[in-house]
Amino acid sequence: MPDYTSLRVTVEERLATVTLDHGKVNAIDATLSRDLKAAFLDLAQDRTVDGVVLAGRPHCFCAGLNVMALATSDREGLREFFFTYLAALQTLVRFEKPLVAAVTGFAPAGGTILALTADYRVMGRGEKHTVGMNEFNMSLQIPRMMADIYAHYRGSTAAWADVQLARMYDSEAALAAGLADESVAVEDVLARARAHCRRLARIHPPVYRRTKRYLRGGLLAAVDHDLDALVDVIAEDFDDPVFKKMMELFVRQLNQAG
């Protein structure tokens, strides 16, 4: 397998594990997004791999979008940031082999959406291990593709209520809300995810591939957009003077805290 800057990819007995390994909290930036897209395109073509588990480190799956990078990027940087992230989401949703997310820790906002691209989610128990869409806490927009993916699982009415309240779910609540499929002890997440992925990989690949395509039609439609057009809309919000001031304040607060 190729080497990636922000990921570790291992293969054992025809099962690949893609482990996010990007800074302290695996925050999503252009580098991580590019690596995710490249890795899953490679794995889609790799005939020695039957299924993939997407994992983070213990107590940390993915902290969502790197807000500091957003706040300090120029317009061109912002466009690259979102274009590469949305392209990665497209690639993961369109991945036709079994894909299981091992949600080993907190995974807010963009991390939640990353997990929701998978066929199945095993989530670790823990007070701070949460999923959900909390962008409104900072008046951050939720791009259409992310909103559509979330609404695919929650339904538009429940998704909108979640977003308004910036509601976060622990593993048991996520299970009830349809955002997770299993809730287990953190130390068991990866093993359970691998076991389920191996179970899925035993299904005849053409059968799995076609059925996955049929039953994830709504999710495939959620990512079936022209990325340039989506990024144009996102860029409009980031040109808002009020938003720019909020981002400047956020950067100052982070610098003072550091």
Domain residue ranges in the chain: 7-257
Identify the pLDDT of residue 254: 60
pLDDT digits (tens, 9 = 90+) for 12-21: 999 999 999 9
Between the alpha carbon of residue 205 and those of residues 175, 201, 210, 218, the distances in Å are 28, 7, 9, 21
Question: What would the pLDDT profile of 124-165 be if each residue is shown by its tens digit?
Answer: 999 889 999 999 888 888 999 999 999 999 999 999 999 999
- Give pLDDT, residue 258: 56
- The more confident residue out of 245 and 28 is 28
Contact 116, 154 (CB under 8 A): no
pLDDT for 236 equals 83
Task: Tell me which CATH code domain 7-257 carries.
Answer: 3.90.226.10
Q: What is the mean pLDDT of the chain?
A: 93
In this predicted model, which residue has the larger pLDDT, 2 or 118?
A: 118
- Say yes or no to pLDDT of 65 above 80: yes
The region of weakest confidence among 8-12, 59-63, 113-117, 135-139 is 135-139
Kindly give the pairing relationship between strand 15-20 and strand 51-55.
Answer: parallel
Predicted confidence at residue 72, as pLDDT, reads 83
Q: Provide the CB-side half-sphere exposure for 258 (13 A, CA).
A: 7
Which residues are 87's β-sheet partners?
Answer: none
Q: How confident is the model at residue 176 (pLDDT cuts 50, 70, 90)?
A: very high
Spell out the residues 6+ positions from residue 95 whose beta carbon is closer than 8 angstroms to its own: 40, 43, 44, 52, 117
How large is the average pLDDT for residues 184-188? 95
DSSP state of 86: H
Whole-angstrom Cα distance, residue 138 to residue 253?
Answer: 13
- pLDDT digit string, tens, across residues 71-106: 888 888 889 999 999 999 999 999 999 999 999 999
pLDDT at 164: 97
Mean pLDDT, range 182-206, rounded to an integer: 97
What does the alpha-carbon distance between residue 101 and residue 80 come to, in Å, rounded to a whole number? 26
